Amino acid sequence: MMAIIQSDIFLLALTIGLFLLSGAIFRRLRLMLFHPVLLTAVVIIIFLKLTGIEYSHYKQAVEVLDFALGMSVVALGYLMYEQVAHLRSAAMPILLATIAGCIVGIATVVGIAVAFGLERDIITSIAPKSVTVPIAIAISEPCGGVVAVTSVVVFCTGVLGSLCGVKLLSLCRVTDPMARGFALGAASHGIGTARAIELGAVEGAMSGLAMALTGFGTALLLPLVERYFY
């Protein structure tokens, strides 16, 4: 029985099945705690702890999902290509929004962390919270950040943005599809982009663009902030 549980096929099927089940539960209940990504991650962690399966073994078993995730990110390029006319017409607003998003994304969390007297390595770890995990880790680790902390904070930011972002934008009366999509991508990276794609093609394209530009801008800005401001 244990050999079956530890098999790559079982672990892959379990992950996919849990995500599909979590999605069905979330669509029915619409409760934050039942977000598919969050619920699946929690259940998988509990399962690995109870069975004693090493994370390295689990990661190897589901590496095909990492490949699929990479392909999905590449697929965002097609969405952008379809909306290229919109992107060209809003080049300057996009540039200004990227700069503002990078500055606000870093300044808010760094300001709060400094005010509470957090250690330098923790501040560096949480500063790239609005950037997708691979980029966030590549930014924080060379500056002395803790990879585990960065990963958790980025994950939580994405889930929170996916759950609350659209409602917050509606409350602020932001109705333009380009603005809504860009805001979701800039604030909550990949998970926010998945939510933006559900809203429409324009929102998805803008969110994917925002995710890429915010990652690039944060990579340039954070080392300067880390050097001169804390």
pLDDT surpassing 80 at residue 219: yes
The H-or-E segment that residue 10 falls in is helix 8-29
Centroid of chain to Cα 63:
18
Confidence of residue 5 (pLDDT cuts 50, 70, 90): confident
The H-or-E segment that residue 217 falls in is helix 201-228
Name the one residue in this structure whose structure tokens are 């078993």.
Answer: 61
Distance CA 76, CA 68 (A): 13
Per-domain residue ranges of the chain = 2-61, 79-228
- 162 closest CA partner among 187, 129, 142: 187
The pLDDT, as a whole number, for residue 17 is 94
- 142 closest CA partner among 226, 67, 20, 198: 226
Backbone angles phi, psi at 43, to 5 degrees: -65, -40
Q: Is the pTM of this model over 0.75?
A: yes
Average pLDDT, the chain: 86
Distance CA 172, CA 182 (A): 15
Q: What is the pLDDT of residues 78-134, one digit of tens each?
A: 767 777 777 777 888 888 999 998 999 898 898 888 888 888 889 999 999 988 888
Distance CA 59, CA 173 (A): 42
